Amino acid sequence: MQERAVREYADSDGRYGRVDTQYAEFDGITLETGFFLGPLTVAYETYGTLSPTRDNAVLILHALSGDAHVAGTDETGRLGWWDAMVGPGKGIDTNKYFVVCSNCLGGCKGTTGPRSIDPSTGMPYGPSFPRISIGDMVNVQAMLVKHLGIERLHNVIGGSMGGMQALEWAVSHPDAIRSAIVIAATARLSPQGIAFNWVGRNAIYSDPARVCGPADENSATRRPGRGLAVARMIGHITYLSEETMEVKFGRKLKLKDMNGYRYSLGENGTEGGEFEVESYLEHQGSSFMQRFDEDSYVIITKAIDLFDMEGTYGGLRNAFGKISAKVLVLSFNSDWLYPTAMSLDIVRALQAEKKDVSFVELDLPYGHDSFLVNAGMPYLTRIVRGYLNGVR
């Protein structure tokens, strides 16, 4: 009975209902590079009700390609990207918590980014959008939280890039949060991770369709070229595990002739793909082209590459010295992009500084994306719900 109850509250079912994106406007922000970026728009959504004492707010931080729509349905009926976790009775219970999620700085889903208008030119920023950092993203979120009248968050939670932001919150805004949940993240990206991001950006840079000159009036609506699709395919491979790919695809063929194989060429002489895994990656890349912006991809992946708490603060212990929040670190044993060893580096540094830290490694086969896969949600739900309820 208990297992069935957990599963009941661990599905993407849109139970929260229709949610509309809201927009906050600010004069601007001085980035860590010293560049003043303004005016500034932040797209965000809220769920649940803020308590009279304003002490029940949970800030959710999305990964690279996420947005503010974390739960419920939008105007098109699209489910939120973490609908299985957020909603009435779910891991982050909207009957109990006031949930906020915003699109990150540099994104392409409503918050100021490359598609926004540069006031100095009257044209979209495009490739000229200034370099940003994970710290800049967090500082913009802090502006939003203050705008909403919240002095201290009950919790900040995020996976992957969102986990990096949760760490940054704990370090740079120690008095503004009670707790942080860091999922499948790292305090600094490995050379391998940087390499994958670099190859993805090079796919974009090498695309003949890429507009590298001054932005024009069509930049805000133009479709990205094939390079973004290739970048997404490269990235998506790193999000999966070998076990997942073997079980889901194996060596199944999409195209067959009497001899078992058929080689095909797609448009412009590119390989059409005869294995199911190739068809899957093609779908991921093509659909990503329809919903994301290549300049945002470049800007955000570069911010991920540059995130380095150890280098910035002269060691993780120095970085974590001022943390006052409770911290839960979660990893997945099948995640080879941000493996458990990276999470343990964070945990050990927090322990050395005598901080209140908990650690869980989940045995799930879905790779880095385990925190987004519905099949793993019952296990993640138990942990997140229990931890949030225990924070005082």
| Domains in the chain with CATH codes | 2-195+297-390 (3.40.50.1820)
CA distances from 169 to 175, 187, 239 (A): 10, 12, 24
For residues 105 and 383, give the distance between their C-alpha atoms in angstroms, rounded to a whole number.
Answer: 29
Supply the pLDDT for residue 215.
Answer: 54
Report H helices in 90-160: 134-147
Supply the pLDDT for residue 50.
Answer: 98
Identify the band that residue 12 occupies on the pLDDT scale cut at 50, 70 and 90: confident
Supply the pLDDT for residue 117.
Answer: 96
Of all residues in the chain, what percent carry a pLDDT higher than 70? Answer: 89
Supply the pLDDT for residue 273.
Answer: 63
Active site residue 69: no
Pick from 129-138, 207-216, 382-391: least confident: 207-216
Tokens 């805004």 map to which residue? 173
The predicted-structure confidence for 47-68, as pLDDT tens digits, reads as follows: 999 999 999 999 999 999 999 9
The strand pairing partners of 79, in sequence order, are 73
Could you write out the DSSP letters of every residue in 344-362?
HHHHHHHHHTT--EEEEEE
Supply the pLDDT for residue 8.
Answer: 42
Number of neighbours of residue 238 by Cβ within 10 angstroms: 18
Active site residue 345: no
Number of neighbours of residue 202 by Cβ within 10 angstroms: 14
The predicted-structure confidence for 221-255, as pLDDT tens digits, reads as follows: 555 678 999 999 999 899 888 888 787 777 877 65
For residues 381 and 93, give the distance between their C-alpha atoms in angstroms, rounded to a whole number.
Answer: 10
Q: Which of 160, 179, 334, 370 is catalytic?
A: 160
CA distances from 4 to 10, 11, 29, 117, 378 (A): 10, 12, 47, 50, 9
CA neighbor of 98 nearest in space, from 119, 70, 66, 133 = 70
Tokens 């073997």 map to which residue? 246
Supply the pLDDT for residue 257.
Answer: 45
Q: What is the three-class DSSP state of 198?
A: helix
Active site residue 293: no
Supply the pLDDT for residue 217.
Answer: 53
Number of neighbours of residue 269 by Cβ within 10 angstroms: 6
Kindly state the average pLDDT of the residues 71-79: 94
207-211, 243-247, 327-331 — most confident range: 327-331
Supply the pLDDT for residue 255.
Answer: 57
Asked if 361 contacts 334 with a C-beta cutoff of 8 angstroms, the reply is no
Pick from 268-282, 297-311, 364-378: least confident: 268-282
Joined together, the tokens standing for residue 243 give 């076990």
Supply the pLDDT for residue 1.
Answer: 26
The predicted-structure confidence for 118-177, as pLDDT tens digits, reads as follows: 999 999 999 999 999 999 999 999 999 999 999 999 999 999 999 999 999 999 999 999
More confident residue, 263 or 185: 185
Report H helices in the chain: 2-8, 134-147, 161-172, 191-205, 226-239, 242-248, 276-291, 294-306, 309-313, 316-320, 340-352, 377-390
Pick from 104-113, 141-150, 199-208, 218-227: least confident: 218-227
For residues 268 and 291, give the distance between their C-alpha atoms in angstroms, rounded to a whole number.
Answer: 23
The CA-to-CA distance between both ends of the chain, in Å, stands at 29
More confident residue, 195 or 281: 195
Q: Which of 335, 343, 369, 370 is catalytic?
A: 335
Supply the pLDDT for residue 218.
Answer: 56
Kindly state the average pLDDT of the residues 7-16: 69
Q: Which of 116, 368, 369, 370 is catalytic?
A: 368
Preceding omega of 224 cis (within 30 degrees of 0): no
Identify the band that residue 260 occupies on the pLDDT scale cut at 50, 70 and 90: very low
Mean pLDDT for the chain overall: 89
Residue 81 has pLDDT above 90, yes or no: yes
Identify the band that residue 286 occupies on the pLDDT scale cut at 50, 70 and 90: confident
More confident residue, 67 or 257: 67
Residue 392 has pLDDT above 50, yes or no: yes
For residues 378 and 392, give the distance between their C-alpha atoms in angstroms, rounded to a whole number.
Answer: 24
For residues 127 and 105, give the distance between their C-alpha atoms in angstroms, rounded to a whole number.
Answer: 15
Identify the band that residue 344 occupies on the pLDDT scale cut at 50, 70 and 90: very high
CA neighbor of 133 nearest in space, from 231, 31, 208 = 31
For residues 129 and 115, give the distance between their C-alpha atoms in angstroms, rounded to a whole number.
Answer: 9
User: To 5 degrees, how large is the angle CA 304–CA 307–CA 310?
Assistant: 150
